[in-house]
Structure 1
């Protein structure tokens, strides 16, 4: 009745052994972390094995080295809440429509007359035609330029442009459906670019999540300050190449229509007058790397995709001897004179850069330009000392809870309490093993989930042991009592843990940040608790019964 096949015993002990093995690196956290950092530096080519030999020797390579990642509240780091200016994208999108609208109407010049763009509000394009009788025909030509709205799942039935007539003027704006789709694309693109920038900086387990319609939560453990994080992700890094019309020393000078005035980064007090329409943009960049120019000064090499390289090559071939401006986020960082045709789509950005600035600029350009500016509504720096205090407090809470549960089980169930306590130790080790294996991030709420799991873990064991006591009172004998105790407690154990697991899944799906951390540890704790209660304790009880052959149990 109590026989457990050998293969099943091997599997149960094997799972327990793996749990101990994979959780063990967390007992030597600092040493393993230094070993992992050194190994990552060697794999990335940033160091040789000889240079980091001491760190590599801190932990054997044949042992698992995955660690539980510590969250912002445990490691310290930076917290930002940013609001994306999605309305800026509307203005850029509509402004970019002007060349297409102008060319389409010029093809019908005999009908609509002369075409002129007139000043308008941001996000709105106003076009005037000289033949007022043909303004309806002109509006239809512009409507024909509209495309189906592109949503996340595909193309919708609505059109992307809203075209209306006001006297002799045609007013073009984005449709409501296109604005909603643009908002979604802008937020998704912003999230992805921020994630790329943070990942390239080598930080550990950042939390980057959308909150509400236009806000992004960014938490990066291990970074020095919120200001450092803002410098990394707050720059739009919008790179454009513009023809130069002239220069001026008057920064307050109003630009002519279809022109821009941007300050020089290298020469304070000097401003460049540029054509508004860029030749190429940073969106067409495929690579950017820090380098040095021919004078051994820090610079950034860049390379365009085929379309950008073709446009860049055609422009340089037609404008030899003329200057062009490289503009980064509204500042002219360089304005070289074109000496020859630049083919191949590659070039170099020079300026008064430091090595650190070229490295950061290359990261920003590689990850792409943010589609819109961001306003930082909340910023907070969590010091490493506070993180260590949190770790100490969480460790103390876990140890107190652990000791109290161990003592209670030992006093209440005697020898069976020892079995329950061993199962509890294995349970906690398996939780940490799973957290390490999946690369989960442990936060203060996550520690709370582990503490709660410690209390819940013995619940199933208590149910089983109390059922065994009840069966012993019916004089069925120890073997029968053990079998009936496990079988009759099974339904209650599954019901209680499945409902709690469903709650953890809902918390994970609907929550964010700390709530998810709590849900992860709670969910994993439920799984390991059921395994240790139904399999590990049963195997240990059976082994005890086979060896001792007791006449009574849990008297």
Structure 2
């Protein structure tokens, strides 16, 4: 009698949890795609407004800067491009483009930005390099730096070699003694460039800075430290506002295509896998909300290639569920109980899911660090999507399947399409 009551209580509890979960998902989906005007005094923006869009989807500003003065070598121009890139894209997640055009011109394109004064002020400012201690007091400025070069040390780690002028060397010696085993942060225009920890007292004005993720990043940081400010004078010779390069209908059509594709996937999962497919469809909706929410939170700039990367991960998320369900069905065919089959199915599918997704993540990382522009955007959305697809498949889907089993809608082999004699 107690077991019956306990079982009924557990079923009721699981049903309540499931209904509440579905209501929350529905509310989040509505707010994500429609927004709310007033929630406790705050406005909740829909994803269409909170996610940044690239120049191809929303337009922006295009500036052509000309380098003034005498002949300028290629190294100086590359340093200038690095400095400008850091100014217009300090977080590194916007799809900005800073490229050399011709002999002495640089083209800067900033999606979603239409404030011409703000852009010109940002590009034209002289630049301010500062070394600050933990007490936030300035130790060195750009005028104290003699040279900075990037290289790979004996262990193959990217390193920056820093050389200071005589006055700078004296100030740095005092600072390294004072802040031994503490970080000294290097700022460019009040943006953190790097924050190395002092390993020893440096008295000769020559230091090494480690911690860069790659040699390219070390070169970029070294160029900025070396230049201290823009190494050339720039003059804006062309300034224009550009419309969406793929047309104003590109984003709505892409979203419509994505909605149709996801809907077809949901229909397929429910028709083919029935009750488990319904649970997987809820998990897929949660996955889409998580991905779009992450795009909004980390300020990813979405381009058409980024949308393609996102839709690709939707297919991979479904593929993980298919692997899990097929493994569960294989276990059920051997005569195991539903509970044992679910546990074994998730366990057996784990290695296949991780193997396929980790190799794709590695490829995405390579694309992100070696690519640029649209390629980088595709790689970033792909990485975010794959990581979240693994999470939803192994946690959200599993939780929903177990809730279904406890509610009594997935407690029989026939519910998974397996007929037993």
Normalised to the residue count of structure 2, the TM-score between the two structures is 0.58
Query: Gapped runs of 5+ residues in structure 1?
Result: 1-11, 32-56, 91-178, 239-282, 285-367
Aligned partners of 2:100, 2:29: CA distance in 1, in Å? 34
2:111 paired with 1:221 = yes
SS in 2 for 1:517: helix
Q: Name the counterpart of 1:392.
A: 252
**Structure 2: how far apart are the matches of 1:471 and 1:503?**
33
Q: Partner residue of 1:529?
A: 389
In structure 2, the gaps of 5 or more residues are 1-17, 127-141, 144-228
2:380, 2:330 → 1: CA distance? Answer: 36
- 1:190 is displaced (CA, Å) by 4.0
**Aligned counterpart, 2:52:** 69
Deviations 1:265-291 (A, max 9, x none): xxxxxxxxxxxxxxxxxx99xxxxxxx
Tell me the CA shift for residue 189 of structure 1: 3.6
Separation in structure 2 between the aligned mates of residue 454 and residue 14 of structure 1, nearest angstrom: 25
Q: Judging changes above 3 Å, is the alpha-carbon distance between structure 1 residues 505 and 18 closer, same or farther for their aligned structure 2 residues?
A: farther
CA separation in 2, counterparts of 1:486 and 1:235?
53
Residue 506 of structure 1: aligned partner: 366
CA contact (8 A) 1:81 1:218 kept: yes
SS in 2 for 1:219: strand
C-alpha displacement at 1:406, in angstroms?
0.9
CA distance in 1, matches of 2:304, 2:66: 26
Q: Which residue of 2 aligns with 1:452?
A: 312
Pair 1:18–1:208, CA change in 2 (3 A): farther
8 Å Cα contact 2:65-2:234 kept in structure 1: no
Within a 5 Å distance, the mapping from 1:173-188 to structure 2 comes to: 180=75, 182-188=76-82
CA separation of 1:473 and 1:82: change in aligned 2, threshold 3 A? farther
1:108-150 deviations in Å (ceiling 9; x for gaps): xxxxxxxxxxxxxxxxxxxxxxxxxxxxxxxxxxxxxxxxxxx
Paired residues for 1:332-371 under 5 Å: 371=232
Say yes or no: does 1:207 pair with 2:96: yes
Residue 78 (structure 1) aligned to one of 41, 54, 61: 61
1:232 corresponds in structure 2 to 120
- 1:394 to partner: Cα distance: 0.7
Structure 1 residue 83 displacement after superposition:
6.9
1:537 CA displacement: 0.9
- Give the CA deviation at 1:187: 3.5
Distance in structure 2 (CA, Å) of the matches to 1:15 and 1:440: 28
Q: What TM-score comes out, normalization by structure 1 length? A: 0.45
Change (3 A) 1:189 1:539: closer
The question of whether the paired residues in 2 share the 8 Å contact of 1:75 and 1:388 is answered with yes
Give 1:550's aligned residue. Answer: 412
- Answer whether contact 2:51 2:299 (CA < 8 A) is retained: yes
1:492 — aligned with what? Answer: 352
When residues 58 and 551 of structure 1 are mapped into structure 2, their CA distance, relative to the original with a 3 A threshold, is closer
The answer to whether the Cα contact below 8 Å between 2:79 and 2:231 also exists between their aligned partners in 1 is: no
Q: Does 1:27 align with 2:10?
A: no
Tell me: CA distance 1:411–1:18, structure 2 relative to 1, closer, same or farther (3 Å): closer
Change (3 A) 1:441 1:13: farther
Higher helix share: 2
The Cα of 1:496 is off from its aligned counterpart by: 0.4
Structure 1 residue 13, shift from structure 2 partner: 12
- Contact kept? 2:84, 2:98, Cα under 8 Å: no
Distance 2:340 2:330 in 1: 11
Larger radius of gyration: 1
Distance 1:233 1:515 in 2: 29
1:18-417 matched pairs, under 5 angstroms: 26-28=32-34, 60-62=40-42, 67-79=50-62, 88-89=71-72, 180=75, 182-192=76-86, 207-209=96-98, 216=106, 218-223=108-113, 232=120, 371-373=232-234, 382-383=242-243, 387-417=247-277
CA-to-partner distance for each residue in 1:74-129, whole Å, 9 max, x for gaps? 22223456675796457xxxxxxxxxxxxxxxxxxxxxxxxxxxxxxxxxxxxxxx
Give the CA RMSD over aligned residues. Answer: 4.5
Deviation at 1:386, TM superposition (A): 5.6
Contact 2:63 2:239 in 1 (8 A): yes
Q: Indicate the residue corresponding to 2:298 in structure 1.
A: 438
Q: For the residues of structure 2 that align with 1:222 and 1:453, how far apart are their CA atoms?
A: 26
Distance, in Å, in 2 between the alignment partners of 1:380 and 1:412 is 53
2:285 matched residue in structure 1: 425
Specify whether residues 18 and 507 from structure 1 end up closer, same or farther in structure 2 by C-alpha distance, changes over 3 A only. Answer: farther
Whether the 8 Å contact between 1:453 and 1:526 is mirrored in structure 2 is: yes
Count residues in correspondence: 296
User: Shift in Å at residue 218 of structure 1?
Assistant: 2.4
Q: Is the 8 A contact 2:66 2:104 kept in 1?
A: yes
Q: In the alignment, which residue of structure 1 is the partner of 2:333?
A: 473
Map of 2:160 onto structure 1: none
Q: Is the 8 A contact 2:287 2:388 kept in 1?
A: yes
Q: Distance in 2 between matches of 1:77 and 1:405?
A: 35
Compute the displacement of 1:508 (Å): 1.3
User: What is the Cα deviation at residue 470 of structure 1?
Assistant: 1.1
